[in-house]
Amino acid sequence: MRLLFRMWQDLHRRNRLACIVACIMCLSMAPPTVLARRYPYGVQGAHVVHGSVSFGYFGNTTTITASDRSVIDYISFDIARSDIVRFIQPSPGASVLNRITSARPTNIDGTLLANGRVFFVNPAGVYIGVDAQINVNQLVASGLNISNADYINDQMNFTGGDGTVTNQGDIIATGVILLGKHVINAGNISCPEGHIIMAAGERMFVRELGSGVIIQIDPSTGSEPQDSLPLMESEPGVLNQGNIEAAGGRITLGAGDFYAKAVSNIGSLSASVTTGKAGRIDMTANVGQISNTGSIKARSDSGTGGSIAAAAAEVINSGTIDV
């Protein structure tokens, strides 16, 4: 009887050991548990390079108080869907440069608020998600870099970087400038009596002229061989498949020397006329094609027209143009 009991104990012990070994093997072969988002959201690794800046945190809201011409470098700057980032600036004309130095795009999926001008510069790109709500005085989002000296001295020279800038959210501002190797709007941008610029290229010079803005895309340095031809990109430099509206204002879409299809509009462009102000829409391409299969409007309901201009080697229209 004792022998049988001992045999039963040995068998029971071996079975338990086998179960433990099997469990360990299963755990070792199981895929790792994902404990975080693909990208960690938040404002991380902030370093104030120029100006006076303070950060405040309360619940899901980050408040950044910044003096004019402030420059802040970040390891990452992302806004989650339920989060809010608010900039407090001394005046509507005051600006702050937010430069992201990581090798991945900035993701804005939540709410961004500012009473002044905010620059987001990330050579890896800027992505504004479908749930994003942006309400600022002016927004500049760039996949090209800018030096601190140029920014502080109001020399808006952007160069270096292959980042794409994409908007799928809602942007309301008095001015919006989106710059990158490729620029895509699939959301809504509204600038009543303001200026909206979407430009693609490797170098951009942006200048304020009176109440307007002018932009040069891939300007010649004088050092390029006269017989050299740029390698053409197959994807559109600038693509609008959303809604862009600047009532009584101006819309500018342009691309540089590297795009076979430079500017493509398959959405809606509207610079409808307001009282006493005519809207204007300009589309330019240094080399490639401009195509419209969507709608372009620079006209009021009363019939008073604004202006629409397209300048490129080839212009194709199979959409609607109302001026």
pTM of the model: 0.84
Q: Please report whether residue 158 resides in a domain.
A: no
Domain boundary among 82, 115, 133: 133
Residues 206 and 323 in one domain: yes
Residues 191 and 92 in one domain: no
The rounded distance, in Å, linking the Cα atoms of 15 and 30 is 22
Query: Are residues 231 and 216 in contact, defined by beta-carbon separation less than 8 angstroms?
Result: no
Residues 297 and 192 in one domain: yes
- What residues make up the domain containing 256? 174-221+230-323
The rounded distance, in Å, linking the Cα atoms of 98 and 39 is 19
The rounded distance, in Å, linking the Cα atoms of 194 and 259 is 27
Residues 206 and 99 in one domain: no
Residues 312 and 207 in one domain: yes
Q: Please report whether residue 300 resides in a domain.
A: yes
Residues 305 and 185 in one domain: yes
What's the pLDDT score for residue 41? 66
Coil vs helix vs strand at 164: strand
Residues 179 and 126 in one domain: no
Query: Are residues 287 and 230 in contact, defined by beta-carbon separation less than 8 angstroms?
Result: yes
Domain boundary among 71, 104, 133: 133
Q: Which ranges constitute the DSSP H helices of the chain?
A: 2-29, 148-152
Q: Please report whether residue 156 resides in a domain.
A: no
Closest CA to 79 of 126, 140, 125, 116: 126
Residues 60 and 186 in one domain: no
Residues 188 and 311 in one domain: yes
Question: Long-range CB contacts (< 8 A, 24+ apart) of 215-221?
Answer: 215/252, 215/254, 217/254, 217/255, 217/256, 217/284, 217/286, 218/256, 218/257, 218/258, 218/286
Residues 179 and 125 in one domain: no
Q: Please report whether residue 28 resides in a domain.
A: no
Residues 251 and 302 in one domain: yes
Q: Please report whether residue 169 resides in a domain.
A: no
Closest CA to 156 of 168, 167, 145, 169: 145
Q: Please report whether residue 8 resides in a domain.
A: no
Domain boundary among 78, 103, 133: 133
For 85, phi then psi, to 5°, come to: -120, 125
Q: Which tokens belong to 39?
A: 């990208």
What's the pLDDT score for residue 207? 85
Domain count within the chain: 2
241-272 burial code (b ≥16 CB/10 A, e <16) = bbbbbbbbbbbbbbbbbbbebbbbbbbbbbbb
Pairing of strands 203-209, 212-217: antiparallel
Name residue 85's amino acid. V
Per 3-state DSSP, the chain is made up of helix, strand and coil in percentages (nearest 5) of 10, 50, 40
What's the pLDDT score for residue 231? 53
Q: Please report whether residue 82 resides in a domain.
A: yes
Q: Which tokens belong to 30?
A: 């199981």
What's the pLDDT score for residue 275? 66
Closest CA to 198 of 142, 252, 126: 252
Residues 125 and 60 in one domain: yes
The rounded distance, in Å, linking the Cα atoms of 173 and 189 is 8
The rounded distance, in Å, linking the Cα atoms of 231 and 233 is 7
| pLDDT by position in tens, the chain (length 323) | 443 334 444 544 444 444 444 443 433 444 333 333 344 568 899 999 999 999 999 999 999 999 999 999 999 999 999 999 999 999 999 999 999 998 999 999 999 999 999 999 999 999 999 999 999 999 999 999 999 999 999 999 999 888 999 999 999 999 999 999 999 999 999 998 899 999 999 999 988 755 567 788 876 544 444 444 455 667 899 999 999 999 888 999 999 888 888 999 999 999 987 666 778 999 999 888 999 999 999 876 666 678 999 999 999 999 999 88
Q: Which tokens belong to 269?
A: 């462009």
